[in-house]
Structure 1
Amino acid sequence: MQLESPRLLIRDLQREDWMDVHAYASNPEVTKYMIWGPNSEADTKAYMEEQMAQQHAAERSHYEFGVVLKATNQFMGGCSIYPQGRNAEIGYCFHPDFYGNGYATEAAQALLRFGFETLHVHRIYATCRPDNIASANVMRRIGMKQEGHLREHLWGKGMYHDSYLFSILEHEYAYIRTPL
């Protein structure tokens, strides 16, 4: 499975990507807003094995992609889409070396396109921790609207966490869609 955008190749993870995934998944700066991490090598290897199995499942329940910069073939991070009936959840996570260049926005736009145009979902949503301003801004830039503030709804790292909830509907996407 592979998606493309102007600057990015968004593809199924490959077993040999594990060290690149581990480079960001083990980074405390990257994982401070995540419920998981920082990962040990064993955590990252287990995650990669789960994704390899998912890619070969008769019916995929989700898509976890690696994101590669086309110009240099550098592995930058990951993004995902989890369809659930006519809804889907998206997410993204990048190595800090690639922050601030619009890559998360471009990857998230490609996920919207895949979700609405290929998976034919009606609604795509995403969450972020309230302090993760950069992620909230990505969601706004791709046309998502903030639906709410979920208070202490997630348990992880020994505490409860709040989340902002954003979404975009199929007809809203059709209105703002720009060709890649």
Structure 2
Amino acid sequence: MDVYYNGEIAVTPALTESDAAVLRAATHLERTDATKEFFAAVAASPEPDLPYHAGLLEISEDREFIYPEEDESRHGFRVWLRLVIEHYLAPRGYVLNGEVTWEGEDRDDSGTIFVKENEVEAVDDLIFNAGPSWAPNNFADDHLKQAVRDLVDSADNTGCSPDLTVISSVFLENLRSRMPEF
């Protein structure tokens, strides 16, 4: 199954020429004296399986970025990224940050791979059909809906001018804690 990736992961500091060479060889499944340590670390890990496909990672000319192979690719970029960070780059003092989106052949096969301070997380895109304009079905999770209901129910304008209403600070803080930060 084919997939298209877009994005890049910054590497700080820039990879040395020798580390970039080892990384290229390892992600192309080349077993050499230089890659022996990487493959041994992966084999000894709780998840010792390598991705089926090789060659999914590319390194920029200045060695400051890792990005997925161009054009049509195969699944496995996230796994390779996690393996090289955990078993090769992080132990050598490199820190990676960035994001890469993917879009597969199937409609529901898309998302983003986030990397922050060497932590890798993949998040699938949520496809939500909001319905027609005359009967919208706006999405909010049940906890957020309840927090909004509680806040509205706490509204009281007793003793206030017509343009003022008092709400409970408890319910306001509850709503704030459930809102995503942008």
- Fold agreement, TM-score > 0.5: no
More strand by share: 1
TM-score, normalised with respect to structure 2: 0.30
Flag the structure with more relative contact order, 1 or 2, with Cα contacts below 8 A and sequence separation at least 6. 2
Q: Which of 1 and 2 has greater Rg?
A: 2
